[in-house]
Amino acid sequence: MLAHLSLLLWGFTPLILWAVYKDKPGYGFTRRACARAFNFTMTVMIAELSVIAFSLLSFLVLMGITAGSRDAAAVAAVVFMIGLIAVLGIVTVMLILALIFPIMGAIRANRGEEYRYPLPHIKILDEDG
C-alpha cells in the first residue's frame, strides 16, 4: 500500500522498498506492488518531461521563425496560445491519472489484491518475478 501511495510524492520510495524486499522470501506481493508502482511513476515522469521538452522546443522554433515579422509574430502568438492550452490539458490529464491510479492501487493492496496499472508503462523493474 505504501508503494502505491508514495507515487503521490513523486519519490523513489517504491524503488527503495523493492530493493529491500526483492530477495526476501514471502514478500512476493510487496515486491510486485513496488515494481509496478515504480514503473508507473517513471513512465509518468518521462512522459511529462517529454511533453514539457517538446513544448519548449516548439516555442523556441516559433520564436525563431517569427523573428522580425509583425504579422508572423501575431500568428505565432495565436498558435502558441492554442498549443499552450493543449499542453496544459495533456499535463492536467496525466496528473489526474497519476493521482487516481496510485490511490486505486493502494486500496487494492490494502485488501490484499494484486493491482496492475491500466495504462501501458515502461517495465524497468520485473513486475512478475
User: For residues 104 and 45, what is the distance between their CA atoms, to the nearest angstrom?
Assistant: 19
Spatial distance between the Cα atoms of 86 and 105, rounded to a whole number of angstroms: 29
pLDDT for the residue numbered 113: 93
pLDDT tens string 6-48 = 666 666 888 888 889 888 898 989 899 989 989 998 898 898 8
SS3 117: coil
The pTM for the full model equals: 0.79
